[in-house]
């Protein structure tokens, strides 16, 4: 099991390509076509990354982050979330690309394989941007009373954070 | 909302830095972050292309159909009222499978179609139905089989093992999704 987790990237690529070949997909051409999309995604998120990396690194270097961490520590320690990840947890439901910027800055600061880095990665790999989805989907059909949607989604998000904290302990 | 948060993080940082005499350090970090963002973007470029290429092969080989088969029985349990209406279920399955494959651009139009079909049969127009709320919470906590951008950023930051988070992330999301449905079924009685 441990080995599977470590070798998961070649396993995924292998399964996808073999399965594609068996289904008669032109794997090479298809790969190249998909890879082209990767370029535009990267160029598109670059300004978002810059905006968030700028804000967070100023916040950190000015030592404001240290005080902020001390301030929120007693609250977030209830669910076991490292206080260093509060900025990520706050921005994540609001903006996917913004969260990506904070995420990149966090990994740079604490290292991708540190406990903080692992929790951050699992958080990023789990829930989506709730507020955006709710705004777009309900907005499209003119729903004005959203009832319990937001509360349930925020609870689900908190559940995901708690689970990220727990599952990160197993792989750390 | 994101405007206020960005403003808050940046301005508190700047004011705090200047007051505490860290003007020079903050100034250096502002200049440095532009360079490091470009570096990160260039490293990401190759990795994102790799994953988008792999996912394209998966998409073309009909992984979506397999996922749809797995999803159907689950959706039958969650959406008892809407499940017999193909106008709702068909785009819903496309929306969820696109999300699982990480194709968020493809997911949105299907999601809106699902919402439109749900609003068509909604008796109280303009008020969210229980199924709408469930659908949105499911969208917020949707499993992504290969979180491509997370893997890419991990690899670009020098991780020894970028893929190690995939299985924990899937478990985390699955639990969040199940709990999300439970929260919905409790909360919908009170709203």
**Taking Cα atoms as reference points, which of B162, B157, B170, B120 lies closest to residue B37?**
B157
B11 at A interface, C-beta within 8 A: no
Residue A52 in any domain: the answer is yes
- Residues of chain B contacting residue A2, judged by C-beta atoms under 8 Å apart: none
The CA–CA distances, whole Å, from A129 to A29, A60, A98, B190 equal 33, 24, 10, 25
Q: ipTM score of the complex?
A: 0.87
Statement: residue A41 has pLDDT above 90 = no
Give the pLDDT mean for A3-28.
88
Statement: residue A8 has pLDDT above 70 = yes
Find residue B127's DSSP bridge partners: A145
Residue A96 in any domain: the answer is yes
Longest dimension (CA), chain A: 58
Give the pLDDT mean for A122-150.
89
* Cα–Cα distance for residue pair A161/A166, rounded to 1 Å: 9
Q: How many domains does chain A have?
A: 1
**Taking Cα atoms as reference points, which of B97, B128, B129, B101 lies closest to residue B111?**
B97
Of B28, B60, B176, the CB nearest to A163: B176
B185 at A interface, C-beta within 8 A: no
**Taking Cα atoms as reference points, which of A49, A136, A129, A109 lies closest to residue B34?**
A49
Residue A125 in any domain: the answer is yes
Which pTM does this prediction carry? 0.88
Q: What end-to-end distance do the CA atoms of chain A give, in Å?
A: 15
Assign B145 to helix, strand or coil.
coil
Chain B residue at shortest CA distance from A4: B164
* Cα–Cα distance for residue pair B79/B143, rounded to 1 Å: 18
Instruction: Tell me if B140 sits within 8 A of A161, measured CB to CB.
Output: no
Assign B127 to helix, strand or coil.
strand
**Taking Cα atoms as reference points, which of B126, B94, B112, B133 lies closest to residue A140?**
B112
Residue A7 in any domain: the answer is no
Residue A48 in any domain: the answer is yes
Chain B residue at shortest CA distance from A143: B126
**Taking Cα atoms as reference points, which of A79, A80, A88 lies closest to residue A60?**
A88
The per-residue pLDDT string of chain B (191 residues; one tens digit each, 9 = 90 and over) reads 678 889 999 999 999 999 999 989 999 999 999 998 998 889 888 888 998 899 889 888 888 888 889 999 999 999 988 999 989 999 999 999 988 888 777 788 899 999 999 999 999 999 999 999 999 999 988 888 888 889 999 999 999 999 999 999 999 999 999 999 999 999 999 98
**Taking Cα atoms as reference points, which of A101, A71, A99 lies closest to residue A83?**
A71
Of B48, B116, B139, the CB nearest to A128: B139
Best mutation target among A13, A121, A135 (most B Cβ atoms within 10 Å) is A121
* Cα–Cα distance for residue pair B108/B88, rounded to 1 Å: 14
Statement: residue A83 has pLDDT above 70 = yes
Across the interface, whether the CB atoms of B128 and A87 are under 8 A apart is answered no
pLDDT digits (tens, 9 = 90+) for A137-161: 999 999 999 999 999 999 999 999 9
**pLDDT band, very low/low/confident/very high, at A44 (cuts 50, 70, 90):** confident
Residue A119 in any domain: the answer is yes
A9 Cβ neighbours under 8 A, 6+ residues apart: B151, B162, B163
Across the interface, whether the CB atoms of A55 and B165 are under 8 A apart is answered no
Give the structural domain span for A70.
13-171
Best mutation target among B43, B128, B155 (most A Cβ atoms within 10 Å) is B128
* Cα–Cα distance for residue pair A113/A115, rounded to 1 Å: 7
To the nearest whole percent, how much of chain A has pLDDT over 90? 58
Best mutation target among A4, A9, A43, A46 (most B Cβ atoms within 10 Å) is A9
């Amino acid at each position: 099991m441990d080995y599977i987790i470590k070798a998961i990237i070649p396993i995924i690529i292998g399964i996808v390509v073999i399965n594609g070949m068996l289904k008669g997909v032109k794997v090479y051409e298809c790969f190249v076509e998909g890879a082209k999309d990767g370029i535009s995604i990267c160029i598109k998120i670059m300004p978002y990354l810059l905006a968030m990396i700028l804000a967070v690194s100023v916040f950190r270097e000015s030592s404001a982050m240290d005080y902020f961490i001390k301030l929120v520590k007693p609250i977030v320690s209830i669910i076991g979330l490292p206080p260093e990840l509060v900025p990520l947890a706050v921005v994540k439901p609001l903006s996917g690309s913004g969260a990506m910027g904070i995420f990149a800055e966090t990994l740079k600061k604490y290292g991708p394989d540190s406990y903080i880095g692992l929790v951050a990665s699992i958080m990023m790999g789990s829930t989506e941007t709730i507020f955006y989805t709710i705004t777009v989907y309900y907005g499209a059909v003119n729903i004005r009373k959203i009832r319990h949607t937001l509360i349930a989604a925020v609870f689900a998000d908190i559940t995901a954070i708690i689970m990220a904290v727990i599952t990160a302990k197993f792989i750390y | 909302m994101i405007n206020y948060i960005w403003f808050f993080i940046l301005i508190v940082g700047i004011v705090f830095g200047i007051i505490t005499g860290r003007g020079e350090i903050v100034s250096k970090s502002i200049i440095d972050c532009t360079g490091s963002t470009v570096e990160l973007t260039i490293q990401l470029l190759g990795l994102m292309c790799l994953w988008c290429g792999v996912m394209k092969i998966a998409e073309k080989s009909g992984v979506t159909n397999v996922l749809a088969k797995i999803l159907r029985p689950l959706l039958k349990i969650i959406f008892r009222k809407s499940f017999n209406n193909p106008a709702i279920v068909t785009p819903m399955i496309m929306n969820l499978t696109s999300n699982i494959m990480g194709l968020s651009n493809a997911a949105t139009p299907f999601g809106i179609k699902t919402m439109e079909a749900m609003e068509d049969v909604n008796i109280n127009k303009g008020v969210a139905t229980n199924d709408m709320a469930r659908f949105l919470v499911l969208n917020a906590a949707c499993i992504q089989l290969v979180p491509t951008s997370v893997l890419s950023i991990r690899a670009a930051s020098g991780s020894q093992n970028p893929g190690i988070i995939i299985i924990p992330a899937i478990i985390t999301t699955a639990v969040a999704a199940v709990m999300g449905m439970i929260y919905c079924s409790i909360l919908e009685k009170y709203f």
